[in-house]
Amino acid sequence: MKLPEESVVHGSPAPASPPPAAQPQNLPALDRLLRLPACAALLDAHGHTLVANEARALLATLRAQALAGDLALGQIGADALAGALAERLQRRLQPAMRAVLNLTGTVIHTNLGRALLPQAALAHIQAMMASPNNLEYDLASGSRGDRDSIVEGLLCELTGAEAATVVNNNAAAVLLTLAALAPGKEVIVSRGELVEIGGAFRMPDVMASAGARLVEVGTTNRTHAQDYERAIGEHTALLMKVHTSNYAVQGFTSAVDEARLAPIAHARGLPLATDLGSGALIDMSAYGLPPEPTPQQMLAAGCDLVTFSGDKLLGGPQAGLIVGRKDLLTRIRKHPMKRALRMSKLPLAALEATLRLYLRPERLAQDLPTLRLLTRPLADITATAQAVLPALQAALAPRYQVQPVALQGQIGSGSLPVERLASSGLAIAPVDAKGVGRALAQLAEALRALPLPVIGRVQDDRLLLDMRCLEDAQVFIGQIGLLRLSDKR
């Protein structure tokens, strides 16, 4: 029921509920809204342009609501309007990229930003980005320098390589390597290693973009030394191994490893390159983790070039690292694509600081967040789950039941695809057996709407929250009071 127009315009007190509806003409004009004393602080904080834009948009929204008979007079008082405007401004200024809680159980999660940067890298970025620096300037001679030199020495020391360079990411490292070493020529790869990494990185497509011709040898499950030998011809530029980082070929299989393939390539005067994908710089098994091939092992086995990522197991920023023979790296560096794919000073600062941590291996499990999370003791993870449980159960009762649960997590990002990490967390199940899918979707949505969005995973009619990556339970507990479940069933 609507009140007579009269009583609304003059704002006379309404005799009874429902609350009096506002008409479009009850809304203030833009400049009257901006002159409200309650808006002064907003103008002061943000300036006229943004506040006026948001005020205009707010008034348009309210006008539409009024026309639909959907706006109460109480919503257009001075304080209500200023409050609504402040809320719009806050939303507008909130960055689109936000911190989240990764409770998916996958430590290096590509969709959630992969490796967390170590403190040392964050501090170095801060110091280097706020000031001019010697990115391409040789302080000893006072002349032009090369940005590669910032990390080349460290990379050579850590991997045993003769030379090294860095580009924007590992996809770029592979692309550049192929473009520089095999333009218009053939590159031999086993059919069992033609990987697709998420996000349109498919080895055959990368070959084509680099102008190289892919020569597939062997079969999906078995490739032999003779397959490579027979495929080598006058147009061959390179033999390539690709680490099958996100799948495993099991059963009746056979592959030619680098130590056997290197002499075959070298006998014909050809280089052997390996794309390791993740590529750990340390022996993961020393930390009780499944072993992952290292660039140093690949070089020792006879590979001439190794490419790997900066933000996977290495635990640094997005980067593509190429290490290996000096003459090949000189050709790679000279290719025009190098300039287009070069690393920016920002990740370069982070990469240098991260690599320096590897000089102190005894401290690495503390200093490198990725390794710290991967080696976090199970008892610790379980204790976090226990700490979160009571507050979460209280917030979700009576619709959901929360229980502690043993979980299997993953390293992630195409590292060690079949290995699982014993972990621990909470399983949340709807109490009502009807509409379970919908109830779980609503719960997941409410968790994502928290100030620090909580990302879990749905499995077997439960929402699972793996606590491995929640090092401080309070960060989650502190925002549980803000959890809002919609009533729609």
Ligand X SMILES: *Cc1c(COP(=O)(O)O)cnc(C)c1O
Chain positions contacting ligand X, by CB under 6 A: 169-171, 174, 195, 197, 201, 242-243, 245, 275, 277-278, 309, 320, 414
The helices-and-strands tally (H runs, E runs) of the chain is 20, 17
Beta carbon of residue 256, minimum distance to ligand X (angstroms, whole number):
17
Nearest residue to ligand X on Cβ basis: 277
Structure tokens at 477: 């507990």
Our CB check for ligand X shows the closer of 51 and 206 to be: 206
Beta carbon of residue 358, minimum distance to ligand X (angstroms, whole number):
18
Q: Say how far apart CA 293 and CA 295 lie, in whole Å.
A: 7
Beta carbon of residue 300, minimum distance to ligand X (angstroms, whole number):
20
Q: Say how far apart CA 398 and CA 394 lie, in whole Å.
A: 8
Beta carbon of residue 160, minimum distance to ligand X (angstroms, whole number):
21
Our CB check for ligand X shows the closer of 42 and 341 to be: 341
Our CB check for ligand X shows the closer of 65 and 245 to be: 245
Beta carbon of residue 121, minimum distance to ligand X (angstroms, whole number):
17
Beta carbon of residue 427, minimum distance to ligand X (angstroms, whole number):
31
Our CB check for ligand X shows the closer of 85 and 322 to be: 322
Q: Which of 391, 378, 396, 413 is nearest to 463 (CA)?
A: 396
- Characterize the bridge pairing of strands 457-459 and 462-466: antiparallel
Structure tokens at 478: 């502190």
Name beta bridge partners: 102: 455
Q: Say how far apart CA 209 and CA 239 lie, in whole Å.
A: 18
Beta carbon of residue 244, minimum distance to ligand X (angstroms, whole number):
7
Cβ neighbourhood burial of 224 (10 Å; 0-12, 13-18, 19+): middle
Beta carbon of residue 386, minimum distance to ligand X (angstroms, whole number):
35
Our CB check for ligand X shows the closer of 169 and 442 to be: 169
Contact 147, 298 (CB under 8 A): no
- Characterize the bridge pairing of strands 186-190 and 236-242: parallel
Our CB check for ligand X shows the closer of 301 and 465 to be: 301
Q: Say how far apart CA 231 and CA 186 lie, in whole Å.
A: 10
Q: Say how far apart CA 354 and CA 370 lie, in whole Å.
A: 11
Q: Which of 388, 411, 364 is nearest to 477 (CA)?
A: 388
Name beta bridge partners: 424: 406
Our CB check for ligand X shows the closer of 65 and 169 to be: 169
Our CB check for ligand X shows the closer of 106 and 170 to be: 170
